[in-house]
Structure 1
Amino acid sequence: MKCIIVDDDPAQIELLTGYVKDISFLELVGTCVDAIEAIAVLEKSEVDLIFLDIQMPKISGLNMIRSLDNLPQVILVTSSEKHAITAFDQNVDDYLLKPIAFNRFLKAVNKTRNSYLKQKPIKKTPESIFIKVNSVLEKVRFTDILFIKADEDYVNVHLKNDQILVSTTMNKFIDKLPKSEFIRVHRSYIVRLDKIEKIDGQFLLIKDEIIKVSRTYKEAFFTRINTI
């Protein structure tokens, strides 16, 4: 989760920055000393979570929340229990009472992350691609692809019982493939991982094709495959 810290107290920013760095799923993208600066950051950056001090000059944290149309997850920071009660009327995820202990911080961010994951839409991995063949777009399922081979100014898509010659580059084609299912093993080859039948040293066997894993792609390839 990408987060920002908004607080006019440098010591508080330093404390929270240290806490954020200890949480693997948090990424600090900025710190702000007032609401005006924070609003500017929100307009130009993707932010999932705000650690927001309530009592600040010019615009309070609560007034900042009221001014935003698309509100990220919010954890309010306050030195007053009274403000903490008010916080929940603003539809925030949690509050932290100063001085902030790390275990309380951890509880708040875990709660907020769970809420964030429930709200975040799940991106469905595409299952196919349309390939232009003689001015007609043909649907090809990714599971039907064995490997892709460079062929001069074309790429040759090898299927179980067919081949399709496509006028494109290997770099452009691999960008259209699910990264979890395909990997480049040579400047001239992209393979579907679950179609590999045998690995002998630096050579792969897919159907009747023997494919060499080049030095450039060797480490990345052997990191991806499941071995025992």
Structure 2
Amino acid sequence: MNCLIVDDDPLICDLLEHFCSKVDGVNNVTIAMSGFEAVNFINSARYDIVLLDFDLPDITGKDILNVITTHSAVIMVTSHSDFASDSYNYEQVVDYLVKPIDFSRFFKGIQKAQNYLSKSVQFESRLFVKEGNKLVKIKFEEVKYFKSEANYIAIVTEYKKLLTLMTLKDLEPQLPSFFQKVHRSYIVNLNKVDVINNRSIEIDKDHIPVSQRYENELFKKIDRLN
């Protein structure tokens, strides 16, 4: 699982990162020490678990909750206990840990996050998109890649290609973890990739560019899937 730690205290970040290293399945940890840095990370990658402080130097954890989709499980980690009851108004908040934190309590929070994520998997097998005046069901396992074309997305599957009025930014939070953005115009199904070579990807006979911005995240995601 991908984990994002959001806290302005480096000691807390180190502690949470250490706790994450002791949990099987949490194998990639990113740290953001400000709210705006966290928002940038959230907008550019997908995180399964977000460990979120409430009190940050620029914007609050509540502000950040408004940009985190329900595809992420959020564990509030803070000394700001007043927000505890309000935080459960957010579907993605699964637990609330008050500092100081020990590992046993942290682990219970991770288990709650895993349960939340496992329940949400069943909703991630398909997507309905609008094509003209009709809704078409797209099975994610059949999609080879998505390509941005102006205000539309081309969805290329094993059997067909269709256009739908949508942006990659709107689509990305709805995708399972085996999809990865590799270019500002492309999101690929990593299970369909045949070759990665010289900043390009081959899927069947299609060549898809890989930009430097997404290259590191691409290889990290591939390592996690292996």
Please state which band the TM-score falls in when normalised by the shorter chain: 0.5 to 0.7
**In 2, Cα distance between equivalents of 1:153 and 1:118:** 35
Partner residue in 2 for 1:204 = 201
SS of equivalent to 1:201: coil
Aligned equivalent of 1:123, options 90, 103, 119: 119
In structure 1, stretches of 5+ residues that fail to align are 1-16, 32-37, 53-74, 76-104
- Cα offset for 1:48? 3.1
Q: Distance between the aligned counterparts of 2:138 and 2:170, measured in 1?
A: 17
Q: Of 18, 26, 30, which residue of structure 1 is paired with 2:79? A: 30
Alignment of 1:145-224 (within 5 A): 145-178=143-176, 180-224=177-221
2:108 to 87, 109, 113: 113
Deviation at 1:183, TM superposition (A): 0.6
CA distance in 2, matches of 1:119, 1:188: 31
Q: Report how far residue 115 of structure 1 moved.
A: 11
Shift of 1:172: 1.3
Partner of 1:171: helix, strand, or coil? helix
Q: 1:168-207, CA deviations, whole angstroms, 9 ceiling, x for partnerless residues?
A: 11211222212x1111111111100010011122111001
Displacement after TM superposition at 1:116 (Å) = 6.1
* Cα distance between partner residues in 1 of 2:213 and 2:114: 40
CA gap of 1:117–1:149, structure 2 versus 1, over 3 A, is: closer
TM-score, length basis structure 1: 0.54
Letter in 1 for 2:179: F
What secondary structure, in the 3-state scheme, does the structure 2 residue paired with 1:183 have?
strand
Report the equivalent of 1:44. Answer: 86
| SS state at 1:204 partner | strand
Q: What letter matches 2:133 in structure 1?
A: S
Aligned-partner residue type, residue 123 of structure 1: K
Calculate the aligned-residue CA RMSD, in Å.
3.6
Say if 2:84 and 2:96, in contact at 8 Å, map to a contact too: no
Query: Helix, strand or coil for the counterpart of 1:175?
Result: helix
CA contact (8 A) 2:79 2:99 kept: no
The percentage of aligned residue pairs carrying the same residue is 24
Larger-Rg structure: 1
Query: How far off its partner does 1:166 sit?
Result: 0.7
User: CA 1:29/1:207 → structure 2, altered by over 3 Å: closer, same or farther?
Assistant: same
Cα shift at 1:217: 1.1
Residue correspondences, number: 150
Structure-2 change in CA distance of 1:44 and 1:158 (3 Å)? same
Deviations 1:76-121 (A, max 9, x none): xxxxxxxxxxxxxxxxxxxxxxxxxxxxx66x637x8289649955
In structure 2, C-alpha distance between the alignment counterparts of 1:118 and 1:151, rounded to whole Å: 36
Asked whether the equivalents of residues 200 and 209 of structure 2 are also in contact (C-alpha less than 8 Å), the reply is yes
- CA distance in structure 2 between the aligned counterparts of 1:164 and 1:119, rounded to whole angstroms: 34
